[in-house]
Every structure is written in structure tokens, then in C-alpha cells.
Structure 1
């Protein structure tokens, strides 16, 4: 069967080849804290988390993991875990407190210190330019619904390239555009909390244009850089083998997996299956088709689970709904996501089928489970098994010829998980958010052994 892997294979990094990039991923807002330190301006998440009922338990990222002050300690942990590549993002409002205009030199200095310390410790920095923390000053001007943001973002990317590109060789322009536009500009469950197609459609188009504009800025200033973009993806299966459920699954696949990658590959927006998406046409201006495509060096895919989709008459626009995993008698993570390792295999094969994609890197994969500190240790066998079984599926895809050349765990330390606050713990390292004490979990020790 397609989903079966050989359980007798003992995973070693050598099985993946010498050119396979191993790493761990993080995001500025989720770890840094110091939300107004040294001239940093507010982001949409600083604003959003102050609104009652938006984030579980009223949590906020004001302190988070205090990475802003503890970056040397945490980069030392990356080295201790034998992880050669460390992915982190740049806080836009730490560099440009108002989103545009005067550069905050303290922000530049901070990220130079982080980059330099990585290199001193023999850890390669991989930078994500945008990981969801839009400056509030730009949201006040319309945020991603304002076409001017293409220029605002391109300017931010240029500043990052000019200040860090002499040492940073690996770049991701944006993280998971489908999530931050869908959750933030359609469903309203993430910052900035907007809802509806009238916000979602222009945001989608302006994000696509901005990804390309940012990539072009990087290429111009750092011609030898390794440039990619990351995309969230979930393996989609129909609830039953009936035409209405199969068609519903196809529509869900458009929104979850195809909406952003296809225009960037030069294929245009996949609007055939969902007529409501054709409303995006009114935001497309002459010349946009050429400005929607970029020849990326790699594509990052971020997969955690699969989704079962059924037809739903009452769901507007797409006529489809997810069958919740907790109703399907399957193993769950703390995010109530199904543990389904073959999903990552299927997504690698799906993206590999696009001939325009040169190279794939799994830029996020991991799991949140309830962790407990017992006698100063955190044993987390479920997370270790999750990583092992997903890596087996990555290896299977690679051995079948899939052009996958890297795997980054989400994430280094337990952190602020957006609307879920501090409840879900994804880290290889446990964080006591009261004391900021770090403890390497058993899964972290396993990963260190794999890479040792």
C-alpha cells in the first residue's frame, strides 16, 4: 500500500544525503517578547491580543520566551541539539516602527547580533522576512487590503537584504500566506480580525504581489542568495467516495493548498472550482500577471495533518466543511489535529508534481502534546514518535525521487501559539513561562542524537 513505510528502517541523517538541510523553525512574535523595547512599534498581534476573548486564556506575547534578551542561550541550545540551521523571522515593526519611514537602528543592531551569534556558534541563519506580525500603523491604512502594501513590503525586504544579506544566505519571503489571509482577513480568528470576501480577496492578491516583489528585492541585492517561500498544506481526502464529497474536497484543496502556490508558479489563480474566488479579478491590474510569478530556488512546505472534507450545503462560497478529527476516533495532538504521518508524504508528492518547483524543503513539521516536568525531565514519547514517523514518510518520498532537500522541526522552544496562547507546546525544549527555565525534552535529545 502507498501509505506503508518499513518500520525496520533505523533513521539516520545519512539516509537523507549530505545535501539535506536539517533545522528548527521559530517566529519573532512567538518567541521574542520585549514588544515595545528599544523603539519597536506595535504589531497587529500586539493590538489583537489586547482584545477580550481573542486569545485563549487572555494570553499575550508581551514576554513570550524572552528570546530578545535570551537569544544567546537559545542559540546555544540549537548548537547543543546538533541542529545546523536555525530559522527565525524579522519583526517588521522592530525595524520600521511605523511600517515605513525611518529605520530603527536598534532593531537592525539586534538582528545583526542574532545573526552574528549564530555564525559564531556554527549555526546557519535562515531568515523569514514576514511571519504574520504586520505593523499596526500599516493595518490602520488598510493593511493587506491596501495595494500600497506591495511597495511598503518591498521596501522592508530591501532593508533586510541590505543589512543582513552579506551574512545570511538562505531566505524565506513570507510564511504561510493562506493562513494569515484566511484566518486574519476572512474568518477573523487571527489578527487583525477582519472577516469576509471583501477583505480576503484583495488581501490575497496583494500578498501574492508582495511575495514576488520581496523576492525580487532579495535577488537584486543578494544575487547569490537561496530564496524561497513557505506554504501551509494539508492532505485532503473526501468523507466518502461520492461525487458531492469528492467535489467538496477539491474545493477545499483550492483554498488550503493551491490558492497561493499556483499564481506564484505562473499558473494564475485556481478559480474554476470556486466561483466566489473570481471576484479577485477586479483587483488585478494591467501588468500584474508578470508581477505574480517568481522563479524560487526552493519552496517550503509546512504540513501537520490531513483533513477529511464533506459536502455542506450551509457553508457559503465553498459548499464544503471539515469533519473534525475529534469526531473520527483518531489519535489527536493538543491542537486537535489528527496524527497522520502519510499526509506529509502525499503533500511532498503533490508539490513535487509541479514541474516549476526546483526544490522542496519541509520548513515546518511538529506536534503539540501535553508535557509534564517530572524530576527535572520532560519525557514526550508521542512527540518523538510523531517526528520519527513523519521523517520516515519524508524519506519514502525522497527515495521515490521526490526533490525534497530539507526538514525543519517546529519548533525550538514552547512558545506563544497565536490564538491558542501558551497552551499548545510544540517545542523540542520545554519553557516554564513563569521562570523562563529551559529543559530539553526527550524528543529534543532524540533529534540531537539523530543529527549527531
Structure 2
């Protein structure tokens, strides 16, 4: 068996988010988030599931850290619940909420696991949503204040920060498609939200620099490799438009200081101009220390004049393998994405901040045989190895997810975890993939036949 050896300082981790695992939705002074409201709205979530209890991580975090230690994680990426810190999104700090995260960070460090904090993973305080949410430019300043509280309290102990997780999802699934909280269907508003999210990112990076903190700060974007189904002009034009929609709408402002021209013109013709103030693009495009990448699948695109979105149609090849989310398994797309980012956007360090797969896992005689997940991860690790060999500065990999959890609109019907969670008893069981990952981390390599 050949071993593919990763760089000595390569970071192996796993990731979660606050609403998906914490539970304790109304305990110790926490305010309501938009996901508390959305998940309690009948018909929005599969099986009308909510994150009220989720994985009960708020009460079981010490047990969960022990499991992280058993797997051997170098690092753990998690998000902070904004309404746990500031129940109204602004104003008075909730000390009990803050203490939870301070204790979590201390316990992680004691276990030899580096904490990586995501400031915003979708759970906006409901009080701010009632003032317009991310469509209201005032939310930007409240986000900066919230970030400053965390920098002051945890900046000396946490060396890596992420401003936003997947602003594309926040804006377009939350405000254009209505599939995520706050459940609004207004594409012009979604475009303003996307811009405001990016401005808030820029201002938080600026604040981080002003405080002279010693760590690194970046942003995490959900990105994919886009391919044209054929060589026809129509298919290639549709693929290019998809590239601007899914990747360029956030990559271009962050690294080039402008929105993609073709799609921006289409949007302006249809919806009019959004509010972009003087200095916004400079703020958005200021230097960051790294880029986080969430990759799950590719986009294979052809032109269809009947498509609801500017002629773009996504093709699902019948011969491909798919996850339980019906996402095509395409590891080569990760290699293509990493090399493209390095060539066209940035030579900054890149981290895979999420990659993983949902399968129909079952626990049998106390064991979860999830060989398909092991195969999935191994092939994606190989793609990263190839990129590193080609000079792409990929510094770490965070498997999504540490444990099965509340999968947003899918509720508890999809399992992404390395750890199986019995939601009735909260019993945790390491899946076979967790033991396989343990060996990968220990040897800092993957074996290939």
C-alpha cells in the first residue's frame, strides 16, 4: 500500500455550528434566533423538527471534547450563537452565554485541540430580524460590536477566526428562495443582504486589525467547480453565469473589489441598483489571512430556455454516485477548485472548512459501518494531496461534521457525522469513519492501493 504523506504542519479537524448541535435554546438568558422562530413555523422543517435540544452539546460539551480527543483532532471549528451572547443582538451582554464559550475554549486548549471560531453561522438574533435583519444596514454595526465582545474576551486564546459561514446561503436561501430562516422570497432584498454581509465581514476584519490581535482572520465560502455540459456556446455561457452566481458573487468582491460584471448587469436590469456606499468595496476587499472553503459537489451546467434562473440548468449524470442529499460525489472537483482559486484569486492559505457526506447510517450491534463515507473522505483527501503537490497552499481540512445534527430544513433526517447520535438518548457512538480518520490523523497520511 502506498502512503500519501501530508505536510508536517497540516491541520486535521472537524466542524459544527451552534444551532445545529447546542440545544438549550432558551436557557441561561439566551435570546431567540431566526432559526428558533423558523424551525417552530409548521411546515418549514422536515418532520417539523427543531433545534430546541439538537445534540444537547450545551450540556454535554465535555463529553464531546473527550470524543474529539479520542479521534485525535488537531483543531475544532465551531460557531458562536450571537443571541447567546447578546440576547437582543445589541446592548447588554449575557454573561452566562459568554461563560459557556470561554469554558469550551479552555477545555479544548487543555485537551490540546486548537479552537477555530466562526462568528456567524446563520443564527441571527430574532430581535434584529424584527428591525429588518441583514437587509437593514444597521445590523452591520451590531455585528461588529458583537465581534468586538468576542475578540476582547477570547482573542488572547483563539488564534483563528472566521467572520461568516457561507454568506451565499444566508442571502440567497434565506432571502431569495425562502428555504432557510428568515424564510423571505425577495431576490432584490437578497442581493442587499449579500452586500451587507460582505461589508460586515470587512468591518470585522478591520476591527480585528485595530485591536492588534495576534491570530488570523478570514471568511468561509461555499464554493463549487462549475463545468459546461457541452462545448456549445449556450452551455458555456450558462456555465459561466453559474460560476458568477455560486462562486464569483462572493469571491470577486473579497479578492477583486467588484461584483462579476455580467451577472451584476443582469441583476441591475431586473431589480435596479442595490445600496453600495462609498468605501464599501475597499472594506470588503481588504487583505484577509486565509480563505475557508466548503466543498460538497460539482455543478454540471447546460442551457435550458425554460429554466427559472436565466437559462441555467444543473445536470445530474445517471452514472454518478450520490449521497443521501442527492449530491453527486465528485472529488476531482475539489482539486479543480483549489487550483483555480490559487491561480485566479489568491495565494493565501486555504482551508477546507467543510467537506463530508450524508449517508443512511444505521447502528447495528453498537457499530456504524459507514464505508461509503470513508471512501468519500479518502477520495477528497487525495484531491487535496494532489493540489498540495502542485503548490497550492492548502493548510488544513475540517470534516463536516463532528456529529450527526440538525441539518437545517432537513431536520434530523440526514446524518453527516463522524459520530452517530441517538437523538432519543443522546448516546454518542463513533462510526467506523471516525476510527479511520483517527488513523489518518495519527499517521498524517492516507493509504492508497
TM-score between the two structures when normalised by the length of structure 1: 0.95
**In structure 1, distance between residues paired with 2:355 and 2:66:** 22
- The worse-fitting range, judged by mean Cα deviation, of 429-438 and 46-55 is 46-55
Contact 2:241 2:262 in 1 (8 A): no
Partner of residue 321 from structure 1, selected from 294, 309, 313: 313
- CA offset digits 1:133-183 (Å, max 9, x no partner): 111111111111111111011111101101111111111111011111110
Q: Give ranges in structure 1 of 5+ residues lacking alignment.
A: 1-7
2:428 maps to 1:438:
yes
CA contact (8 A) 1:274 1:317 kept: no
CA offsets 1:418-444 (integer angstroms, 9 cap, x no match): 001111111000000000000000000
What is aligned with 2:280?
288
Residue 72 (1) aligns with residue 62 (2):
yes
Partner Cα separation in structure 2 for residue 428 and residue 254 of structure 1: 33
1:42-70 CA-partner distances (Å, limit 9, x unpaired): 11111001112111111110000000000
- Cα displacement (A) at 1:316: 4.6
In 1, Cα distance between equivalents of 2:347 and 2:61: 34
Q: How much does 1:87 deviate?
A: 0.5
**1:220 to partner: Cα distance:** 2.2
Distance in 2 (CA, whole Å) between partners of 1:36 and 1:193 is 21
2:418 is the alignment partner of 1:425 = no
Query: Where in structure 2 are the equivalents of 1:70-109 lying within 5 Å?
Result: 70-109=60-99
What is the CA-CA distance between 1:222 and the residue it aligns to? Answer: 4.5
Which deviates more from structure 2 when the two are superposed, residues 307-316 or residues 336-345? 307-316
| 1:246 equivalent in alignment to 2:243 | no
Per mean C-alpha deviation after superposition, the further-off stretch among 394-403 and 274-283 is: 274-283
Q: Which residue pairs with 1:5 in the alignment?
A: none
Q: Which residue is equivalent to 1:171?
A: 161
Q: Secondary structure at the match of 2:297?
A: strand
Report the counterpart of residue 301 of structure 2 in structure 1: 309
Paired residue for 2:195? 205
1:252–1:318 CA contact under 8 A, matched in 2 = no
Q: Return the alpha-carbon distance in structure 2 between the equivalents of residues 161 and 266 of structure 1.
A: 27
Partner of 1:4: none
Find the counterpart in structure 1 of residue 447 from structure 2.
none
Q: CA offsets, 1:170-198, max 9 Å, x none?
A: 11111011111110011110100111222
Partner of 1:261 in structure 2? 251
Please, which of 14, 18, 22 is the counterpart of residue 8 of structure 2? 18
Q: 1:276, 1:317 within 8 Å by CA — same for their partners in 2? A: no
SS of match in other structure, 2:294: strand
Preserved CA contact (<8 Å) 1:202 1:283: yes
User: After TM superposition, where is structure 1 displaced by more than 4 Å over at least 4 residues in a row?
Assistant: none
What CA distance in whole angstroms lies between the structure 1 residues aligned with 2:201 and 2:307? 30
Is the contact between residue 82 and residue 123 of structure 2 (CA under 8 Å) also seen in structure 1?
yes
1:10-69 deviation per Cα after TM superposition (whole angstroms, max 9, x unaligned): 34xxx2211211111110010000001100011111100111211111111000000000
Deviation at 1:313, TM superposition (A): 2.0
Asked if residue 395 in structure 1 is aligned to residue 376 in structure 2, the reply is no
SS of corresponding position for 1:402: coil
TM-score for the superposition, normalised by structure 2: 0.95
